Chains A and B, each alone.
Chain A
Amino acid sequence: MPDSGINILFEGTNFLRLLGGLWVTVRISVVSVLLSILFGIIVGMIMTVRNPVTKALTRVYLDFVRIMPQLVLLFIVYFGVTTAFNVNLSGEVSAVIVFTFWGTAEMGDLVRGALLSVPKHQYESGEAIGLSGLQIYRYIIIPQTVRRLIPLAINLTTRMIKTTSLVTLIGVIEVLKVGQQIIETSRFTYPSASLWIYAIVFFLYFLVCYPISRLAKGLEKKWQN
C-alpha cells in the first residue's frame, strides 16, 4: 500500500475527531480564560491595596503559581485533591480549576500593573475639575487601564490555550490526544501518519491562536500611548 500520509485525514471520521478534540481544547481555554479575567480583575485590585497582609498573600500566591509547573498543579488537583478529599473531579473540571488558578494570578498581576501605570496625577486632575470618585474611574482610569490591559490579556489567553495541551496527561481527550490516538491506530497503514497529524494539530493551534495574537498586536498599535 502506497504511503501517502495525508490520506489519513480522510480515513473514517479522523478529521472530525480532530476538530472534536480541538473543541475540547477551546472549551477548557475559553472557560478558564473568562474565569481568570473575572477573578484576575478582583485579585489585581486587591493587589493595589496598600495593606501588608493582602500584599504578602497575593505575592505568595503569584510566586507559587509562577514557580510551580502547570503539570504539577494538574496532578495535584486531579490525583491529589480528589483522593485526599474524596471528591470526584473530571479531568476537564480539574483542568479548568488549575488554569483558572494560574490565569487569575497572571491576570491579577497584569491588572495590578495596568492600574498602577495610571499616574496619580490623572486621579488628581479628575478631582480638580470636580469629578466624583466613581466618575474618575468611569471616564479616566478604567478606559486607560483597559487599553493597557487588553493586549496583555490576549497574550495571556494564547499562552493558556497552548498550555492546555498538558491536560492529556490527566486523561482529557483534547486535540493532541486525539491526534496521538489516530497515529497509533494507523501505525501500520500509514507509517508516516505522525508527521501529518502533528502538522495538522500544529495548524489547528495556529488557526486558533494566530487571529487572537494578531488582534492583540492590532489593538496595541491602535492604542499606542
Chain B
Amino acid sequence: MAELRCGILSDVLLEIKHLKKSFGDTEVLRDLSLDVHTGEVIVVIGPSGCGKSTFLRCLNGLEKVQGGEIRLKGNLITGSKTDWQKVRQQIGMVFQSYDLFPNMTVLQNLTLGPVKVQKRSREEAAETARKLLARVGLAEKENAFPRELSGGQKQRAAIVRALILNPEIILFDEVTAALDPEMVREVLDVILELAKSGSTMVIVTHEMQFARAVADRVVFIDGGEIVETSPPEEFFTNPKTERARKFLNMFQFDKRKEEP
C-alpha cells in the first residue's frame, strides 16, 4: 500500500464510504468503500458490467449516487449542495472515446477549461498547454484539429486537457480500450510517467501488464462490490479470493500442444 511503500502515512485525498448506485431497479454499486491517498495510483479491474466505470463516473458527479458518501480532502461532495463545477476542477477525468471537441484546435481544446472555468489568462493557459503538449510528445500538434490526429495522439491530448486544470486526482476510464493495439503503448507511457511524477490517479483498465506496472493498489470489483484490494504483485501472482482467481484465469491460455 502507498503508505507502506512511502514509509509515511500520507493523507487521504478521496474518501469513499458505502457508495450505492442503481439504475432503476438494477443495483450497480452495492456498498463500496475505498480510501485514495495523495500520490497513490489505484487500478480498478473487474469483468465487464461490474460497475467499475460507473464507480469512476460517481466520483466526479456524472452519475448521482443513491447512498453513501464521498469526501474530497475531508469535504463532503455527495451532498445536494455540491458545486460540481468546482469539484470537477479538482477531479479530472479522461474517457475511453477521448472526446476532444472537434470544432476546436488542440490548443483551444486545452485552454477552454483554464480560461473559461478557472479564469486564467489566455497567454498563461496557452504557455502551460504548450509545455504539457511537449511533455506528451505533441509539441507540433497545437494547431491541428482533432480529426487530423491518430487515436493515440487524441487520447494524449485529452489527458493534457485534464492535466492543465491542475486536478488533485485524475480518473482514467478505460482510456486505451478504443485504441488500435500499436497506439496503446504511447498512451500508457504517458500515464506511467504521471504516476512516477506523483500524480494521484484512479485507473480503470483491462491492460493487466500495465495495471501491474503502474498500480500501488489493485482494486478488484465484481458484482458492484469490492472483492479484493491488494498490492499488484500479490494480486496477480497470488489472489486472495476465488473470484479474482477466476477472473485472472480468463487472461491465460493453455498451450494447444504439449511441450516436447
Residue positions of A touching B, CB distance < 8 A: 119, 121-122, 124-132, 135, 139-140, 143-144, 147, 225
Known contacts A131-B113, A131-B117: A125-B95 contact under CB 8 Å:
yes
B139 CB–A CB distance under 8 Å: no
Residue-wise, chain B 58-96 has the 8 Å CB interface mask toward A (1 for contact) of 001110000000000000000000001110110011010
Report whether A128 and B93 are in contact in the complex, using a CB–CB cutoff of 8 Å.
yes
Whole-angstrom CA separation of A186 from B145 in the bound complex: 61
B101 CB–A CB distance under 8 Å: yes
Closest to A133 in B: B85
B42 CB–A CB distance under 8 Å: no
Whole-angstrom CA separation of A225 from B103 in the bound complex: 9
Identify A124's interface contact among B99, B100, B117, CB under 8 A.
Answer: B99
For B95, the chain A residues whose CB sits under 8 A away are: 121, 124-125, 128
Report whether A140 and B103 are in contact in the complex, using a CB–CB cutoff of 8 Å.
yes
Q: What's the nearest-Cβ distance from chain B to residue A121, in Å?
A: 4
Identify B165's interface contact among A121, A122, A129, A139, CB under 8 A.
Answer: A129
B20 CB–A CB distance under 8 Å: no
Q: What's the nearest-Cβ distance from chain B to residue A137, in Å?
A: 12
Identify B84's interface contact among A121, A127, A135, A144, CB under 8 A.
Answer: A127
Residues B128-155 near A (CB distance < 8 A):
145, 147
Report whether B112 and A129 are in contact in the complex, using a CB–CB cutoff of 8 Å.
yes
Dominant secondary structure of chain A at its interface with chain B: helix
Report whether B88 and A130 are in contact in the complex, using a CB–CB cutoff of 8 Å.
yes
Closest to B147 in A: A225
28 examples of A-B residue contacts, CB within 8 angstroms: A119-B97, A121-B95, A124-B62, A124-B99, A125-B100, A127-B62, A127-B88, A128-B60, A128-B62, A128-B93, A128-B95, A129-B89, A129-B165, A130-B85, A130-B86, A130-B89, A130-B113, A130-B117, A130-B165, A131-B116, A131-B117, A139-B101, A140-B101, A140-B103, A144-B102, A147-B103, A225-B145, A225-B147
Known contacts A119-B99, A121-B99: A139-B162 contact under CB 8 Å:
no
B21 CB–A CB distance under 8 Å: no
Q: What's the nearest-Cβ distance from chain A to residue B169, in Å?
A: 13
Q: What's the nearest-Cβ distance from chain A to residue B171, in Å?
A: 9
Report whether A128 and B103 are in contact in the complex, using a CB–CB cutoff of 8 Å.
no
Closest to A118 in B: B102
Report whether A125 and B103 are in contact in the complex, using a CB–CB cutoff of 8 Å.
no
For A147, the chain B residues whose CB sits under 8 A away are: 103
**Shortest beta-carbon contacts, A-B, top 7:** A129-B113, A125-B99, A130-B117, A143-B103, A225-B147, A128-B93, A121-B99
Whole-angstrom CA separation of A135 from B116 in the bound complex: 8
Q: What's the nearest-Cβ distance from chain B to residue A125, in Å?
A: 4
For A144, the chain B residues whose CB sits under 8 A away are: 101-103
B161 CB–A CB distance under 8 Å: yes
Q: What's the nearest-Cβ distance from chain B to residue A104, in Å?
A: 26
Known contacts A143-B103, A225-B102: A132-B85 contact under CB 8 Å:
yes
Identify A122's interface contact among B89, B92, B101, B112, CB under 8 A.
Answer: B101
Closest to A135 in B: B116
For B99, the chain A residues whose CB sits under 8 A away are: 119, 121-122, 124-125
Whole-angstrom CA separation of A39 from B85 in the bound complex: 33
Known contacts A124-B95, A135-B116: A129-B102 contact under CB 8 Å:
no
Report whether A131 and B112 are in contact in the complex, using a CB–CB cutoff of 8 Å.
yes
Identify B101's interface contact among A125, A127, A130, CB under 8 A.
Answer: A125
Q: What's the nearest-Cβ distance from chain A to residue B113, in Å?
A: 4
For A122, the chain B residues whose CB sits under 8 A away are: 99, 101
Report whether A128 and B88 are in contact in the complex, using a CB–CB cutoff of 8 Å.
yes
Closest to B91 in A: A128
Q: What's the nearest-Cβ distance from chain A to residue B28, in Å?
A: 17
